[in-house]
């Protein structure tokens, strides 16, 4: 459910010119879903606010990643 909502948010951002349309919206939605779920788990532990902010900041860098890195297709380096 959250992945679908994030997908729609990414697509809207692409249509409105805020997110590079060459980025794979499904891959971004999956990344942000996993990030949010992981951050929720970490927040229950002793991870700390600074650590959570680091995770969020780095996840958002995906929006500026070269499209081939988020194409949704495995590469030789990632396989």
CA Rg value for the chain: 14
Question: Does 26 reside within a domain?
Answer: yes
Contact 3, 30 (CB under 8 A): yes
Question: Does 34 reside within a domain?
Answer: yes
pLDDT band at 78 (very low <50, low <70, confident <90, very high): very low
- Measured distance CA(52)–CA(5) in Å, rounded: 22
Per-residue confidence (pLDDT) for residue 12, from 0 to 100: 97
Question: Does 49 reside within a domain?
Answer: yes
Q: How many domains does the chain have?
A: 1
Which one is predicted more confidently, 69 or 50?
50
Question: Does 77 reside within a domain?
Answer: no
Question: Does 78 reside within a domain?
Answer: no
pLDDT above 60: residue 62: yes
Question: Does 74 reside within a domain?
Answer: no
């Amino acid at each position: 459910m959250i992945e679908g909502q994030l997908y729609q948010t990414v697509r809207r951002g692409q249509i409105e010119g805020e997110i590079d349309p060459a980025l794979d919206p499904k891959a971004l939605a999956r990344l942000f879903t996993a990030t949010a779920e992981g951050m929720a788990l970490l927040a229950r532990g002793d991870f700390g606010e600074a650590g959570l902010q680091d995770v969020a900041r780095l996840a958002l860098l995906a929006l500026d990643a070269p499209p081939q890195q988020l194409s949704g297709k495995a590469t030789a380096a990632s396989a």
